[in-house]
Amino acid sequence: MPRVLAVAVLLALLPAAAHAATARPAGAGCDRFDDTACLLPFPNDKFTKLDRSTGTGRVLDFRAAQMPRNAKGVPIDPSQFRGMDGFSPGSTILTRVRGLDAAGLRRSGAVSLSDLSAYTKAAAPVLVLDLRTARRWPVWAEVGEGGLLQIHPARNFADGGRYVVVLRGLRRKDGSRIRAGARFARLRDARRVRDVRYDRIFKVLKKAKVRRDDSLFLTWDFTVASERSLTERMLHLRDEAFAQLGDPDTGDRVVEGRAPTFTLAEKALDGDDAKYQGRFARVLEGTVEVPCYLDSPSCGPGGAFRLNSRGIPDQGEDFRARFLCVVPDTATAATPARMLLYGHGLLGSEREVLTNPDIPLFAREANAVLCATPWLGMSSEDIPNAASVLGDFSKMDTIADRLQQGMLAALLLGRAMIHSEGLATSPLLQQDGRPIVQPGFLGYDGNSQGGIMGGALTAYAPDYEHAVLGVPGMNYGVLLPRSVDWDVYAQVFRPAYKDVAERPLVLALAQVLWDRGEADGVANHIASDPLEATPSHEVLLHVAFGDHQVTQYQADVLARTVGARIHTPILAAGRSPQRKPSWGIPAIPAGAPWGGSAIVYWDSGPQVVGPPPLGPEPNRSGQDPHEHPRRTPAARQQKAAFLAPGGTVVDACGGAACLGKPDVG
C-alpha cells in the first residue's frame, strides 16, 4: 500500500486523547523492585502462577490494574493472555536503571551488537542464565525508548525454558557505580532468604559464579512459553482442516484425500491493470474454501477466535479466500512449471505477484507459476483494524488470531496447488489437455512481511520442504522501532500510549500474542525439531545489507535460531559496523552446493547505502536496498536453484561477497 495512503488512513483513525497513563496503582501486585511501570521488570515470573495443567507448570497471571493504559485510560485487556504458559521466546527484557544511559552502558562494558561475543566475558555486567544449567545465553543490551534497558536474545530462548536475568557492575557515563535500590539490596544482603523464588535464583547465581555482593544491581527470573502454548491453536486449525480433506497425517509428505474446493478464472487486465499486460502469459484469479474459526462475518478483519472451554478455536462456516496466480510463457506441457506459493509484503495484498517488477523475471527464469493469497490479519484490508489496535492493544488478539486464520488459507491454497486434482486440472493451466504445471511439487517464496510470516508458515507447512525468505526477520516488537515504516504507525501509537517508558512494554506484551502468528513463536521448529505431524524444512534467507525497513540484525537472530549457515565472505572488508559480522553463524562449507538452511547478505555498496546503526533505530542512510536482493539476477538464480526439486544453495557470487545489482526498478 502506498505510504501516503497508509498515513492518511492511520491518521484518520487516531484515538482522541483524554489523559496520560495512570500512575503505578497501589495494591495491584506490581513488582517491588522497579517502580517505573507495574509490569517492570519484564518478562517476569512475578506475573505468573502455578498451573500443573500447562506445558511449563505455570500460567501468565496479569490483572487489569497492572496493565499499561492508553490515553483514554483503557488498560490492555489481560484476558487475551489467558491460558498462556509463559513469555515470548524472543522476549525483549525490559527494566529501568536510573542513571544508566547509552554512554553509561558502554562504560559498564555491556555486550552490544558491535561484538556479540562479549556476552561470555568474565565480568560481563548484563547476563541471562539458563535456570537449569546456569549457562549464559547469548544476548545484547541497549538503552531504548523511555530510557529503559533492553536486553535481546541473539538466538531465541528455548520453548518452555526458564531464565535468570542478572545486572551487576553498572556504571554511569562518568564511571560512578549505580547502586541497587533499597528493596532489592535488603533481599540481596539478607543472611537468610525467606523468599523461595529468590532463594532458587541466588543458587543459580552461585552456580554461575556471580557474586552476591553490592555490585549486584538486580536479578529476576522468567519462563518462556512451551511449544504447546505457542502452537496448539494453529496446529488444531491445520490438522482439523486437512483431516476434513481426508488427510489425517500431515507429517508423512503424502498428499491424501481430496483437493480443497476452489474456483479459477482468467483475470482481465484492463483499467489500471492494463499497464501489466505482457508481463505474463496469463494471470489467473480464484478462491479456495477455508474453514473459518473467527467470530467475524466471513472471517473478516477485527474478528477473534471462537474458543471452547479448553481454549481451542471452534470451527464455523467456510469462507472463500481469494488468490492470484501468474503464469510465465515458459510454462508449457513440454516444460511444465514448478508451483510456488508467494508471500506479500507489509499490509499488502496478493496483487504483489502482479505488480512487483521482479516477479515476471523470476517466473520466467525459474519457470514457475506463483500464487498468492492475502496475509489475513496484516493485509491491506486489515489496515483500519491495525490502526485501531495501535490505539488500544486490548484488540491485539484480532491481529494474532486472524494471522493464524490467514496461515490456514495459505496452507490450503498450497494444497490446491500441489494436489493432482487441484489447480492443475483447470483448462487454464493446461495445454492440449496436459498440465503446464508440476502437480506434486511446491515451494515458498516471500519478501519482507512475506519473509517474516513465511517463516511461521513454513514451520506448519505439510506440502513444501524449501522456502526462500526474502529480506526477513522476526519479532515485530523489535522490528518495528528499527524500521522506517514505524514512522507512520508511531503517529497512531505514540499519542495513544503517552508514557514513553511503557511503550516498549506495550510492544513486548503484544509480542507474546504475535508469537502465535509470526516466525518468532516457531523459529525453534522451522528447520529442526519439527512440530507435531509436520515434516522438516530448509530455508534460504536473503538479507539486504543496511535494509531500512527490516533490520538485518533480526535476520541474524532468525538464522542462529534455525541453525542456518552463512555465505562467506559475508561482506566486503570494512562494510559491517560489527567487529564480528553475523557472529555465531557458521560458514557454508566450501565445495559442493549446500543442502541445508542458509543466510546470504546482498550488499548494494557504499555508494547506495551506509551501514546500519547499532542502536534501536532505523537505518536512514542513502537509498533503501530493501527491494534489491529479489531484483538482482544472481540472487534470483540462487533462489531458483534452491526452490527446485532436490534444491540446494549454490554459490551465485563466484566465491566473493554477494552484491546487490538490481536489473529492474
Q: How far apart are CA 640 and CA 646, in angstroms?
A: 11
Mean pLDDT of 118-143: 99
Q: Which pLDDT tens digit goes with each residue over 545-555?
A: 999 999 999 99
- The residue with cell 498450497 is 414
| Confidence check: pLDDT of 103 > 60 | yes
The percent helix, strand, coil of the chain (3-state, each to 5) is 30, 20, 50
What letter represents residue 657's amino acid? A
| Confidence check: pLDDT of 439 > 90 | no
Helix (H) or strand (E) holding 409: helix 396-418
DSSP class of 319 = E
pLDDT value of residue 452: 98
Task: Provide the pLDDT confidence category of residue 12 given band limits of 50, 70 and 90.
Answer: low
CA 8 vs. chain centroid, Å, equals 26
Classify residue 644 by burial, with Cβ atoms within 10 Å: 0-12, 13-18, 19+: middle
Mean pLDDT of 147-159: 99
Round the average pLDDT of the chain to a whole number and report it: 96
User: Which carries the bigger pLDDT value, residue 17 or residue 106?
Assistant: 106
Q: Which pLDDT tens digit goes with each residue over 303-337?
A: 999 999 999 999 999 999 999 999 999 999 999 99
| Confidence check: pLDDT of 453 > 60 | yes
| Confidence check: pLDDT of 22 > 80 | no
- CA distance to 70, 362, 461, 608, 654, per residue, from 664 (Å): 44, 11, 32, 16, 22
Helix (H) or strand (E) holding 477: helix 476-479
Task: Provide the pLDDT confidence category of residue 479 given band limits of 50, 70 and 90.
Answer: very high
pLDDT value of residue 15: 47
- The residue with cell 524449501 is 466
pTM of the complete model: 0.97
Q: Which pLDDT tens digit goes with each residue over 611-628?
A: 999 999 999 999 999 999
User: Which carries the bigger pLDDT value, residue 4 or residue 318?
Assistant: 318
* Nearest in space to 19 (alpha carbons), one of 406, 602, 379, 495: 495
| Confidence check: pLDDT of 13 > 80 | no
pLDDT value of residue 6: 52
DSSP class of 433 = T
- CA distance to 249, 281, 665, per residue, from 327 (Å): 31, 6, 21
> Dihedral of CA 485/543/354/538: which sign?
negative
Q: How far apart are CA 104 and CA 350, in angstroms?
A: 47
Q: How far apart are CA 504 and CA 487, in angstroms?
A: 15
DSSP class of 62 = -
Q: How far apart are CA 34 and CA 40, in angstroms?
A: 6
CA 143 vs. chain centroid, Å, equals 22
> Dihedral of CA 284/290/292/297: which sign?
positive
Mean pLDDT of 191-210: 97
Task: Determine the Cα angle at 41 with ends 35 and 47, to 5°.
Answer: 100
| Confidence check: pLDDT of 37 > 70 | yes
Which of 486-490, 494-498, 588-592, 614-618 is least confident? 588-592
* Nearest in space to 438 (alpha carbons), one of 372, 367, 371: 367
Give residues with Cβ within 8 angstroms of 8, minimum separation 6.
Answer: none
Q: Which pLDDT tens digit goes with each residue over 524-545?
A: 999 999 999 999 999 999 999 9
pLDDT value of residue 5: 47
| Confidence check: pLDDT of 588 > 70 | yes
Task: Name the H helices within 169-294.
Answer: 182-189, 196-207, 227-244
Cis, peptide link before residue 41, omega less than 30° from 0? yes
Task: Provide the pLDDT confidence category of residue 23 given band limits of 50, 70 and 90.
Answer: low
Q: How far apart are CA 119 and CA 500, in angstroms?
A: 28
| Confidence check: pLDDT of 132 > 80 | yes
> Dihedral of CA 129/135/140/143: which sign?
positive
pLDDT value of residue 7: 47
pLDDT value of residue 28: 78
Q: Any idea how long the chain is?
A: 665
Phi, psi of 94 (to 5 degrees): -130, 135
Sequence ranges of the domains in the chain: 45-225, 227-439, 442-475+518-665
What letter represents residue 398's amino acid? T
Q: Which pLDDT tens digit goes with each residue over 164-182?
A: 999 999 999 999 999 999 9
Task: Determine the Cα angle at 422 with ends 420 and 425, to 5°.
Answer: 80
Task: Provide the pLDDT confidence category of residue 11 given band limits of 50, 70 and 90.
Answer: low
Task: Provide the pLDDT confidence category of residue 591 given band limits of 50, 70 and 90.
Answer: confident
96 - beta bridge partners?
148
| Confidence check: pLDDT of 4 > 50 | no
CA 599 vs. chain centroid, Å, equals 16
Long-range pairs for 445-448 at CB < 8 Å and ≥24 separation?
445/340, 445/341, 445/342, 445/343, 445/362, 445/370, 445/470, 445/639, 445/643, 446/342, 446/343, 446/344, 446/470, 447/343, 447/344, 447/345, 447/471, 447/630, 448/345, 448/346, 448/549, 448/550, 448/626
- DSSP conformation letters of 593-646: PB-S-EEEEEB--TTT-PPPPSSSS---SSS--TTTGGGSHHHHHHHHHHTSTT
Do 399 and 514 touch, CB atoms closer than 8 A?
yes
pLDDT value of residue 9: 55
Q: Which pLDDT tens digit goes with each residue over 219-270?
A: 999 999 999 999 999 999 999 999 999 999 999 999 999 999 999 999 999 9
**Considering the chain, what percentage of its residues have pLDDT values greater than 70?**
96
